[in-house]
Structure 1
Amino acid sequence: MSDVSLPDVAEDDLYGPDNLPYGVYTTDAAPDRRRIGVRYGSWVLDVGAAAAAADHPWAEVLSAPSLNPLLAAGRPAWREVRAAVRSWLTDAARREQLAADGLLLPLDASVTLHLPFEVADYVDFYASEHHASNLGRIFRPDSEPLTPNWKHMPIGYHGRAGTVVVSGTPVKRPSGQRKAPDAPVPDFGPSRRLDIEAEVGFVVGGATEPGTAVPQTALRDHVFGVCLLNDWSARDLQAWEYVPLGPFLGKSFTTSVSAWITPLDALDHARTEPPARSHELLPYLADGEGSGVEAAGLDLRITVRLNGEVISEPPFAAMYWTAAQQLAHMTVNGATLRPGDLFGSGTVSGPEVATRGCLLELTWAGRDPVELSTGKRTFLEDGDEVTLSAWAPGPNGTRIGLGEVTGRITPAA
C-alpha cells in the first residue's frame, strides 16, 4: 500500500472531471511497461489496472500498451469507459483508494509520456480562410487569394504517419533541395525557413469498409478525441517542390502531437456554428439550418509561445471547414477509416496579425520579423522551442484543457 495522500483537484483545473484526457505512460519503476492513463489534474490514473480491479468489461482493452484497441472498440465503449472513469475519480473514497493502491500517480519526473496511439494514416487539411487567403496574397499577389476550389471542398494532403511524434520529441532541422528566386538551379542543404503550423488534430476510432462514405452526422461515431498538433514546415523546401503536386519533403519530416487526447464528448460546451458560408455547398458538405447536421465548429482558444513568449493566439472557432466536413470529404470517394487515423485541421489563423498561426504569416514571408526579448525571428533557429497550448469552454463556467505540444529545434545532421 502507498502512503500517497491525494489532494482535491481545484474547480478551475483544466484537467478536472469534465475533461479526463487519455494518454500512454511509463514509470521509472517499470520503464518497459506502457500503460493507458487518464489525466486528472496533475495525476494520472492507471486505467487498465483500475478497470481490472473493478471487473470492468473493457478492462482487457484498457490494459493495452496503446489506445488503438480502445479506438477500435467504438463509441458505445468510449462512452461506457468515460462514465466509469468519471465515477471512480469523482468519488472521494474511491479516489483515495486508487492513490493508496498506487494506481493514481503524480505526474512528475518519474512518469514518461509516450505517443498515445499508433498512427494508421495521417491527413492534413487547409481549413482556415484567413490562413489560405494570407498565403495566397504572399505567393500570388496579382491573383485572387483563394483558388477557385477552396470554398467548395476542404483541401488537404496525405502526410507521413511514421513521423508523427509525441510532444517533447526534438525536431531535427530537415535538409533538402532549395532554390532561391534568383538562382538558376537548386542547391541542397538544411532548411533556412523552418516554420510551425498551429493546428488541431482529430483521432479516429471506428473503422469503415471500403466504399463507405461517412456522413457529417456520423462524426461522433468515428472521432474519438482531439489534440493539438504542430505540422512543422520547411517553407523553402516546400516552395520548390510543391508544384504541380503538393506538400512532400517540406512537411513529412516531423509532425508533433500532444501526449493527451481529449475525448470529443468533453467538448460539447465548446461547440459553435462555423462562419457563414459564402458559396452553396454540395449536399454531402452542407451544414447549418435545415441540414440536420449539429454545429460542428469548436471554440478552442490556442496560444503559441516561442521560447516562452506569446507570439500568437489563433481562434479555432474561425475555421471555415469543420472536422465533420473534413471527415465526410476524405471518405466520400470510399476511402476507408482505420483506428488510429489522424487528420489535422490545417493552420489555425484569425483575422488579426496577432492571431496568425505560422511564422510565414506572422512575418509576412520574413518581411516583418517577430520581436522577442532575446532578439528578432523570421523563421526558427536551432535551439528555439515552440509550445502550443489551448483551452475550451466547459460546463458551468469551467475550462477544458488540451495537452500542450512542445518541440525544440536541433541542428541538421
Structure 2
Amino acid sequence: MSNQQRFSGEWKIKRLGEIASIRNQKVMPEDVNPNTLCVELEHIGSGNGQLLENSSAEYSTASKYRFFTGDVLFGRLRSYLRKYWLADRDGICTTEIWPLMVDSKQVDSAFLHAIVQTDEFFAMANLSYGTHMPRTDWTVMCNFTVMLPSMQEQRAIAEVLSDVDGLINALDALIAKKRAIKQATMQQLLTGDTRLPGFSGEWEMKKMGQIGSIYGGLSGKTKTDFEGGNALYVTFLGVLENVILDMRHTERVHVRQGESQNSVMEGDLLFNASSETPGDLAIGAVMGEQLENLYLNSFCFGFRIHDKNKYIPLFFAYYFRGSVGRAIMNALAQGATRYNMSKSQFRDLELSIPSGAEQRAITAVLSDMDAEIAALEQRRDKTIAIKQGMMQQLLTGKVRLVKPER
C-alpha cells in the first residue's frame, strides 16, 4: 500500500500584475477571419464561468481585444455580475472584457481562473470607476494579492475545482432539461391536447368574471407607512418569482385599525398589472396558506375564486404561466414603454376549463415536476456552496491536497 503525501512547502505572495496582464491586442472585426469567435458580455453566464452563446467577427462592429486559448476572460463592466471564462479557443471579445494572459512560468491559467472567482477578487474588482457604467480599474486590480503554490499544486487544485464545476454544470443542464419538459407538459395538459388517464369529455367555456372577482392592492399609502409596520404585504417580485407564493417575498407595512384595504386570503390568485415587456404581464401566483394581516402591493391585483372545489386556484396559476396564458396576456397588453392590462378585459377573458377533478390531476402532475426541479436546484446550490468553501481552503493553503501518484 503506497504512502500518500500531501503537498508541502511555502507559497509565494505575488501581486496580480506580476503574474498576469491584459492582452492589449486590439483589432477591428473586419480585419480578421469573418468566422472568428466573438464574445460579448451577454454571452458569458453570471457566476458560472460558462460561455452560453457566441457570435462571430462577421456580425461584429467596433474595436475588439484578441484572446487566445488559455486566457482568462473577465468582465470588467459591472463586475458584480461575476462574468469570467477560461478560453478554450482563440477569438476576439468586447473591450468591456479583459483577456488576462498569464506568465506561464509562475501561474497556471486554470489556477488564475479559480482566483478570479473568489469573493475577495470581486470585492476588489467592485472598487470601480463610473456611476452608471461602473468599470473595474486595472491600476487597482494589478495590486490584488495572490498566493501561489508550486505549479504542480496549482494544477492539482484547478483540477479538483474543475471537477466540481463539471458537476454543477451537469446539474444546470439537467435542470434546464426538466424545465423544458415541464413547459411541454403544460402546453399539452393545460390546453387539453393531451388528457390524463381516466378523463374525457368536453371542457367548458367560462369567463374569468364568472369564476371569481378582482380586488386591488394597497392604496393611499405614503413612504412612512412602509418604514416597518404591523402587517405584511406581498411584493411585486413575490408575485413573479413562484407559482405558489414564497413568504420570503413579503415586507412590512403599517395598516391602521379600521382602514379600508383588501386582505390576501388563502387560495387567492395574484397578478402583476404592469410590466416592461408584454410577455411578462399578469404572471399568476397563488397564495398557499392563510395568514392574518396580509396585503398586496399596489402594482398588482388579486383574484378571488368563488368556488374553489370547482375551480382550482393552482390550475389557473399554472395556466397563466404557461404558453397559452402568456399568449393571451401578450395580446391584451397596452402601452409603449411600459405595458398594462385592463381589468375589464381580464374579467371578459373566456377560457376552456376542465372539471375540478381533472384540474386537480393536472396540478398534481405539474407540482410533482416543480418539486423535482426544486430538489435539483437545492442540490446545485448546495454544491456551489461546497465549492465556495473548497476555494476558501484550497486557494489559501489552509488545506493541502494529496500529491497524485506517478
One fold, TM greater than 0.5?
no
Larger CA Rg, structure 1 vs 2? 2
- TM-score tier, shorter chain, comes to under 0.3
Q: Which of structures 1 and 2 has the larger relative contact order (alpha carbons within 8 angstroms, sep 6+)?
A: 1
TM-score after normalising by structure 1: 0.22
Q: Which has the higher strand share?
A: 1
Q: Which TM-score applies when normalising by structure 2?
A: 0.22
Structure number with higher helix proportion: 2
